[in-house]
Amino acid sequence: MLVGRRRPARWRATVLTWVAVAAVATSAALIGLWSGPPAGAATAPPYLLALGGSASVGFQPTLAHPHGQPTSSGYAEDLVPLEQQRWPGLTVVHLGCPGTTTMTMLEGGGRCSYAEGSQLQAAEAFLRTHPTTALVTVDLGFNDLLSCLRHEVDNAPCVDEALATVHDQLIQILAGIKAAAPSDTLIVGVGHYDPYLGDYLRSPGGEAFAAESLEVMERLDATLRADYTAAGVPMADVASAFDLADHDQVKWSGLPAVPTDVARTCELTWMCNGPPLGHNVHPDDAGYRAIASAIAEAVAGSADTAGAGT
């Protein structure tokens, strides 16, 4: 099995961001002041605005915070070198918050506070005042389902209700972002992997629950894809990056053969790690790099489509 190997991480001091996030297991506060471009800068840099829940801020367990904390090793930071040729000087701005649902994105009241009222309102304010924003990533949906998948139980009525809520509210969120964003800003939705595939190895009932959770995540991705497509927003195919459709048996970490999607989940998340960092749903460094690559592919695909239409 993978073992805990991350050093305690901190926000990268050189990244221009107006937000400081302090996240712990049960609460978080977000207070931000934007200071503008660095002194002496002739023009503002292109910005990457990362919106959504804990994955958007690179949340990972660390020795200092075994339940997890924002880190400087998330997919937003991993995107910067991948997109430097397209957007030289691309600068990450974080507005995401652990635990964000579509409801708290719209209305506030989650773990983080925003002067504007909600994460969406803060994002709209940023977009209206920063015309060099090049890319916005939107990572929502998973937290809406968390209460439906507790204790290795798939609560089907809960899932149905949560997906309906995600559908209704994501449409409103995307409309707000698009209305506020500069006309040439690219918005990319982030699809989802299934961390609960790691439960395949945890208990006698884990294999059955892993299969059920995969169906739930496939429904979530289908809901997101439909809404993003309707809004003209490409979606990063994170499911393919995590090989969720590959169920061929493979040898992994000295264990008997397991499905490839299970092995990939163990390799790209903290779900199969031992304590104190283990059984955590968030990606590890490799997982965040895989998500960044999926987003970069969506960016490239959107750019190719735009070019073909000119």
Q: From first to last of its 310 residues, what are the pLDDT tens digits of the chain?
A: 333 333 333 333 333 333 333 332 333 333 333 434 544 456 899 999 999 999 999 999 999 999 999 999 999 999 999 999 999 999 999 999 999 999 999 999 999 999 999 999 999 999 999 999 999 999 999 999 999 999 999 999 999 999 999 999 999 999 999 999 999 999 999 999 999 999 999 888 899 999 999 999 999 999 999 999 999 999 999 999 999 999 999 988 877 789 999 999 999 999 999 999 999 999 999 999 999 999 999 999 987 666 555 4
How many helical (H) and strand (E) elements, i.e. helices and strands, does the chain have? 9, 11
Angle subtended at Cα 210 by Cα 206 and Cα 214, rounded to the nearest 5 degrees = 170
pLDDT at residue number 220: 98
Q: For the whole model, what pTM was predicted?
A: 0.86
Q: For residues 300 and 278, what is the distance between their CA atoms, to the nearest angstrom?
A: 34
Specify the CATH class of 45-195+215-241+285-308 in words.
alpha beta
Q: For residues 200 and 203, what is the distance between their CA atoms, to the nearest angstrom?
A: 7
CB 73, CB 58: distance < 8 Å: yes
Which residue carries 């927003």 as its tokens?
Answer: 233
Encoding tokens for residue 135?
A: 């890319």
Distance between terminal CA atoms of the chain?
A: 50
**Residues 149, 262, 296, 280, Cα dihedral to 10°:** 50
pLDDT at residue number 58: 98
pLDDT at residue number 254: 78
Pairing of strands 269-270, 91-94: unpaired
Q: For residues 191 and 225, what is the distance between their CA atoms, to the nearest angstrom?
A: 8
Which of the 8 DSSP states describes residue 69? B
Per-residue CA distances from 165 to 145, 161, 198, 224 (Å): 10, 6, 27, 11
Cβ neighbours of 139 (radius 10 Å): 28
What contacts 28, CB < 8 A, 6 or more positions away?
21, 22, 97, 98, 99, 111, 112
Which residues are registered as beta bridge partners of 190? 236
CB 195, CB 252: distance < 8 Å: no
